[in-house]
Amino acid sequence: SFLDVVVNNDLSLEGYGACEGTLTCSTCHLVFKKEDFEQLPDRPEGEESDMLELARGVTDTSRLGCQVF
């Protein structure tokens, strides 16, 4: 997932992925460019969709990084 990329590369994004991918935080919120969003294999649904509603600045092309593989 995008969260794994951040963790595995020791990227310094303070607070990103606070719940370690357990879908309880929304700190891994990403906003994709429309053309990139359309290339993703799936759309947010279920728990991801619910948690996205709590993210700040959510857009039509938002995803949670821990759910994008």
**Interface with ligand FES (CB under 6 A), residue from 28, 30, 63, 68:** 28
| C-alpha torsion sign, points 54, 55, 59, 62 | negative
- Does 6 bind ligand FES (CB under 6 A)? Our answer is no
Q: How far is the CB of 7 from ligand FES (least distance, A)?
A: 10
CB contact set of 2 (below 8 Å; sequence gap of 6+): 28, 30, 65, 66, 68
21/9 Cα distance (integer angstroms):
16
Q: How far is the CB of 42 from ligand FES (least distance, A)?
A: 15
Contacts with ligand FES, residue ranges (CB under 6 A): 3, 17-19, 21, 23-28, 51, 64, 66
